[in-house]
Amino acid sequence: LIAHASFEEALDADTLLISGGIGYADAAQDERLLAVLRDAAGRGIRLGSICTGSLILAAAGLLGGRRATTHWAYAEELRRRAPGCEVEEDAIYVRSADIYSSAGVSAGMDLALALVEQDWSRDVSLAVAQQLVLYLKRPGGQSQFSRMLEAQRNDDSFGALQRWIEDHVAGDLSIAAMADHMAMSVRQFSRAFRDRVHDTPARYVERIRVERARRSISEGRSPLKLVARECGFHNEQALRRAFHRQMGIAPVDYRQRFA
């Protein structure tokens, strides 16, 4: 909105997503913008915020009496600036009537996909997520978001296994354990897994675990040792090595960028 300054056009939209990030504080003082947001809300336009975008909605006085979330590091600030707003800092995204808000940056993608699912269908949402996976995989092959991993799940018995893996990240996910769970021989399991999931069992499990850790690291403040345990790494060192292998950056540095 600020970049294009075509506020009138914005009022024709069905949905307005308010991004946060650098400059959010200035935006929160832009009376013209805030007036547009109030106008939009009055017209029943669906509003959503990403990260610190919630503070802009708060400045427009739209969060009173509602539930909302934001990046965890700004939860306190949101509480101060949005009296009467119930801030749910652990949520990925929150819907309160026609106003949505989401946590840190990647949570915005979850919110967007949820809106697509609501407007269209789960199938369309998953198809979009699948496209994003293909797109985001290319530059460095690093970006992985949980909703997108979900989109990669199969619809056969291996889809159920993938779900099981996600529900048991902290448990024993050795090849032997997974083969056993699928009632298959180790050899046959490895072969079938590769064919259906297009990845080797161990590499896939590590991807899931690192993704879980990534989310926890960027949107929470648990010590790494705890994150490691919750995500199925034997110790902090194992988490660090796997994380660096996949993300090309150390967990602490990653957290720093989001702090």
Partner DNA sequence: AGCGCCTACCGCCAGC
Partner DNA sequence: AGGCTGGCGGTAGGCG
Q: Which residues are catalytic?
A: 51
Subset of 146-185 contacting DNA (CB under 7 A): 174-176, 184-185
Q: Is 194 in the site for DNA (CB under 7 A)?
A: yes
Q: Dihedrals φ, ψ of 144, to 5°? A: -140, 130
Candidate ranges 16-24, 132-140, 195-203, 248-256; the one touching DNA (CB under 7 A): 195-203
Closer residue to DNA, CB minimum distance, 104 or 201: 201
Smallest gap from residue 100 Cβ to DNA (A): 38
Q: Is 207 in the site for DNA (CB under 7 A)?
A: no
Q: Is 190 in the site for DNA (CB under 7 A)?
A: yes
CA distances from 93 to 33, 68, 116, 163, 166 (A): 23, 8, 14, 21, 20
Q: Is 245 in the site for DNA (CB under 7 A)?
A: yes
Q: Identify the residue among 156, 241, 249, 253 touching DNA (CB under 7 A).
A: 241
204 close to 197: Cβ distance less than 8 angstroms = yes
Q: Is 10 in the site for DNA (CB under 7 A)?
A: no
Smallest gap from residue 234 Cβ to DNA (A): 3
Closer residue to DNA, CB minimum distance, 30 or 199: 199
Closer residue to DNA, CB minimum distance, 221 or 245: 245
Q: Is 20 in the site for DNA (CB under 7 A)?
A: no
Q: Is 242 in the site for DNA (CB under 7 A)?
A: yes
Smallest gap from residue 68 Cβ to DNA (A): 39
Q: Is 188 in the site for DNA (CB under 7 A)?
A: yes
Q: Identify the residue among 73, 91, 186, 250 touching DNA (CB under 7 A).
A: 186
Query: What token pair was written down for 44?
Result: 């029943």
How many residues bind DNA, per CB under 7 A? 23
Q: Identify the residue among 32, 38, 43, 187 touching DNA (CB under 7 A).
A: 187
DSSP the chain: -TTT--HHHHTT-SEEEE--STTHHHHTT-HHHHHHHHHHHHTT-EEEEETTHHHHHHHTT--TTSEE---GGGHHHHHHHSTT-EE-TT-SEEEETTEEEESSHHHHHHHHHHHHHHHT-HHHHHHHHHHHHHHHHTTTT----HHHHHHT--SSHHHHHHHHHHHTTTS---HHHHHHHTT--HHHHHHHHHHHHSS-HHHHHHHHHHHHHHHHHHH----HHHHHHHTT-SSHHHHHHHHHHHHSS-HHHHHHHH-
Interface ranges with DNA (CB under 7 A) = 174-176, 184-188, 190-192, 194, 200-203, 234-235, 237-238, 241-242, 245
